Amino acid sequence: MKHIFIVLLILFCSSAFGQGLSQKDSSTIHQLRIYEIPKENKQVFLDRFRDHALRIMKKYGFTIVSIWESEFNGKTEFVYLLEWKDENAMKTAWQGFMADKEWKDIKMQTAKLYGDFVNEIEDRTLKITDFSPEKRLLK
């Protein structure tokens, strides 16, 4: 069932962003992140992501295409789609973000106050096929 959600998500992005885009860049990739978050910390998680993670991610060159909330099998999920120039850009950005002192401090402070924020993370790197109607999202 989760696979159906992922396929629908990809189809949504293809139809929403695939119209009128220029020539395909085969190195462009997308990254799908699905976080299962404890229901009791949902709002605190959302606030922390909105108020801190987005700002810090921008510093490291993250391009967030869209962000969703989902309920699946009784679990609360936070889902977002990223776009990257290539795999090296993705790896470099994540290394910088995860090593960022401000982000580490924010995570430590909020964990002390509220406990766990993420039960599980699913991470998928998506490489576009040469026959996909979507060419690329980066301009």
For the segment(s) 2-17+29-127, the CATH number from 3.40.190.10, 3.30.70.100, 3.30.420.40, 3.30.565.10 is 3.30.70.100
Domain positions in the chain:
2-17+29-127
Average pLDDT by stretches of 10, the chain with 139 residues: 47 44 66 96 96 98 97 95 96 98 96 91 92 66
The pLDDT of residue 85? 96
pLDDT, position 137: 55
| Cα 100 off chain centre by | 18
Tokens of 27: 């190195």
Give the CA radius of gyration of the chain: 16
User: Which residues lie across from 71 on neighbouring strands?
Assistant: 76
Please tell me the pTM assigned to this model. 0.78
